[in-house]
Amino acid sequence: MPDPSYALTMARYNLWQNTSLLTASNGLSSEARQADRGAFFGSIEKTFFHVFWADEVWMSRFSSRPPPGGGLWESVTFSGTWAEFCEQRTALDHEILKWAAELDPGWFTQARSGHQGTWSRPKGELVIQMFNHQTHHRGQIHAMLTAAGARPEDTDIFRTPAVYRALYS
């Protein structure tokens, strides 16, 4: 089962990877970011927006953050500009990092119900789900960026740069 160290490691990794992918994406035109590339959500932008939405959903379940509007299919939209999205994504990544740094070990064993009480799982299992979901879709974004000619950083967790590994240590 995960513990505070796991959550903090994954939150650091999340911040590093999103920074890398956003930086690589910023080198593309908006048309290239919006092009349908055959991924589940279609484009680089739509996939980014979905992950952002899902992270907001999970953080609303784990903290006092209000849940985002809409459902799965609305998750691929963002009402602001790309620059505003990048700012909000980075802010959410820092929020996730701060949340992870403040977790108590006992928190992970508590149950959390969701979706109108249709399921209940230990919070530790749900933390794994949140970080696994991010990694899954970031892999899609990485592949789409590479196919578009962008060069995001490596994705191996053990290569997380020291500057990120030192956050909240």
What is the pLDDT averaged over residues 82-101?
A: 98
The model carries a pTM of 0.95
125-133: which pairs have CB atoms within 8 A and are 24 or more residues apart?
125/1, 126/58, 126/61, 126/62, 127/2, 127/6, 127/7, 127/10, 127/62, 128/2, 129/58, 130/54, 130/55, 130/58, 130/62, 131/7, 131/10, 131/13, 131/14, 133/51, 133/54, 133/58
User: What confidence score (pLDDT) does residue 3 get?
Assistant: 95
Q: Does residue 40 carry a pLDDT above 80? A: yes
Indicate the pLDDT class of residue 111, thresholds 50, 70 and 90. confident
